[in-house]
Amino acid sequence: MEEITVFLIIIAVLIFLGITEYSLHVKNLKSIPIRIHVNGTRGKSSVTRLIAAGLREGGIRTFAKTTGSLPRMIVHDGTEYPIFRQSRPNIIEQLRIISFAAHNSAEALVIECMALQPYLQSLSELRFIRSTHGVITNARRDHLDVMGPEERDVALSLLGTTPCNAILFTAEQDYPELFQNACDDRMSTLITTGDEEIALIKEEEMEKFDYIEHKENVALALSVCEHMGIDRDTALRGMQKNTPDIGAMSNAILRFFGREIVFVNGFAANDPESTEVIWEMALDQYRDVERKIMVINSRIDRPERSRQLGQSLISWPRADRYILIGSGSYFLIKNAVKSGIDSRLFINAEGLITEDIFEEIISHCKKTSMIMGIGNIAGPGLELVRYFKNRAEAF
């Protein structure tokens, strides 16, 4: 009987602590007038940073948190700090970020969704963020093992972060009915950034970015900032000062013992559709080089992604060599060769240290070469980006 009493007391204490903690969290939320929750398949980190930069330039005390290549907290003056984790990523981390922003008098918080499971995406919005403005960049064929099996299912999963009685911004144009239905269900307004808004972004405006940014991301971020009362020129000026995520697409030019090598960091675009677009962009920009090499960073815990990339390679413009790094590249090679790509074009550098990967890549370069990394930024992908960056004449 005494054991039951002690057990009930413990349960009661835990319930009380839980209620107290959540009440404090709600208080923190209410102290931040603008809360922008950014979700989507591609471009989440970029759009989070762009929106925050535009709001800061407009005089709003803005904090931002990204989970891109490396998790970062960006404070009101643009300074970045790493987010330390004792174990694997957990969405409870968002509560700590909100508390930090609230205790530092944030007027706005732009926070990237870090959940993949559909029910956790919904939980993040409805219980943790309770955003005043939601953003869904796009919905593409990625993480199908979690959000699939089809692209439409991915859109439905992402729509779990649709805010209640608020505004949802998106640049996704393929599923207008799904987006409108989600907004109607949660009594929110839908604002879509389409081709017309993207076309308003001029090439000379994009040239002022120090890295390769996408017009779609800029147009979407501008739509959000303009809704906040920040005029276009001011918001765009702030965005052009933006420090990109380390995984953002960028080029490094390296001259190495008589060879001129361009390294294109495309690791962050890991769904087939986005990867094909940037591969074709790189080929068009460097069409005159003698050799074109694709470095693919695979992850053994993402076999579905490797399978998709392997099957897609056959329909893309062919590379002269495919160098495989990371882990689990077997899934990619198997599907690529089955699709019709000559197995002799694949070089397996899986498990090599960064210096040896670099030497392997160099050994396949001609006098002029373009190397592009795709697949995943984590692990050897990020290390390779740094390796090239630290040895480049221009980046």
Nearest to 60 by CA among 189, 172, 256, 224: 224
Neighbours of 44 (CB within 10 A): 23
Which CATH number does 27-240 carry? 3.40.1190.10
Q: Does domain 250-389 have CATH number 3.40.140.80?
A: no
* pLDDT score recorded for residue 16: 57
Neighbours of 355 (CB within 10 A): 10
- Ordered DSSP codes for 328-357: -HHHHHHHHHHHT--GGGEEE-TT--HHHH
* pLDDT score recorded for residue 3: 64
* pLDDT score recorded for residue 392: 87
User: In angstroms, rounded to a whole number, what is the distance separating the alpha carbons of residues 239 and 56?
Assistant: 9
pLDDT one-digit tens code per residue, 268-318:
876 788 899 899 999 999 999 999 999 999 999 888 888 989 999 999 999
pTM value is: 0.84
* pLDDT score recorded for residue 22: 75
φ and ψ of 256, to 5 deg? -135, 100
**What are 382's two structure tokens?**
């990020």
**Domain residue extents for the chain:** 27-240, 250-389
pLDDT one-digit tens code per residue, 38-85:
999 989 999 999 999 999 999 999 999 998 778 999 999 999 999 988
- C-beta of residue 60 within 8 angstroms of C-beta of residue 228: yes
Nearest to 162 by CA among 196, 194, 139, 195: 139
Per-residue pLDDT of the chain (395 residues; tens, 9 = 90+): 566 665 556 666 666 556 667 779 899 999 999 999 999 998 999 999 999 999 999 999 999 999 877 899 999 999 999 998 877 888 899 999 999 999 999 999 999 999 999 999 999 999 999 999 999 999 998 888 889 899 999 999 999 999 999 999 999 999 999 999 999 999 999 999 999 999 999 999 999 998 889 999 999 999 999 999 999 999 999 999 998 887 778 888 999 889 999 999 998 876 788 899 899 999 999 999 999 999 999 999 888 888 989 999 999 999 999 999 999 899 999 999 999 999 999 999 998 999 999 999 999 999 999 999 998 888 899 999 999 989 888 65
* pLDDT score recorded for residue 301: 85
User: From start to end of the chain, where are the E strands?
Assistant: 34-39, 62-66, 72-74, 80-82, 108-112, 133-136, 167-170, 189-192, 250-256, 259-265, 291-298, 321-326, 346-348, 368-374
